[in-house]
Structure 1
């Protein structure tokens, strides 16, 4: 006997909650926007990007390498398909950001209020959150 009144929604088994999907896209867009701006800034050697890398002893050409990999990583995360490539991109961004933070700590270049350490760790946390929230279609 069917006791439904017609107002109930049928939920499919394995359906993804809309809140989780929305959270994934919000976090991922913030991550993509932030890392893309950072990568473009490094490629253009814009603003403080030159000072950030030279102050901790890295050669200036590292900005071209980092900027290129950041942009390629974001493209890999955003495009549909290629789940293994997405795994590599997420791990690359995580290692890049935690490495940047540690590099600034070891060079005693904390920035104002620890900005040079905290911001990369925030980006690493965004990468972990995006990875954890990603839909099944973007997983291995």
Structure 2
């Protein structure tokens, strides 16, 4: 049984679930590589110590990327009560915002 990778790694390796997503929103497949690189670099920036300004940019990039994904799904009509892509992506945007807002004072600018 194979496991599907999601997020930056899944996008970099063009896993079947991420390929389905770009087909739904009608993006070219190479867009997965671009977004995957950004997500991996953003995650590294948030996890490494110090560099508070870089972390601010990483959080902003993750949040705007997720909101952009929500908008992309909505614009192609992939919405409604059973639209997994919109709800899960919106949940990720909310988690990124909460992580940013609840980080320790020592990590704030």
Fold conserved (TM > 0.5)? yes
Structure 1 residue 111 displacement after superposition: 8.2
* Aligned residue pair count: 105
TM-score by length of 1: 0.71
Compared with structure 1, are the counterparts of its residues 51 and 72 closer, same or farther at alpha carbon in structure 2 (3 Å cutoff)?
same
Structure 1 vs Structure 2 CA RMSD: 1.6
Gaps of 5+ in 1: 1-35
CA distance in 1, matches of 2:10, 2:81: 20
Cα separation, 2, equivalents of 1:47 and 1:138: 37
Q: Which residue of 2 aligns with 1:74?
A: 43
SS in 2 for 1:55: helix
Q: Are the aligned partners of 2:10 and 2:36 in contact in 1 as well (CA < 8 Å)?
A: yes
Q: Choose 1 or 2 for highest CA Rg.
A: 1
2:95 to 126, 131, 137: 126
* TM-score (norm: length of structure 2): 0.90
**Unpaired runs of at least 5, structure 2:** none
Hey, which bits of structure 1, 4+ residues long, moved more than 3 A?
none
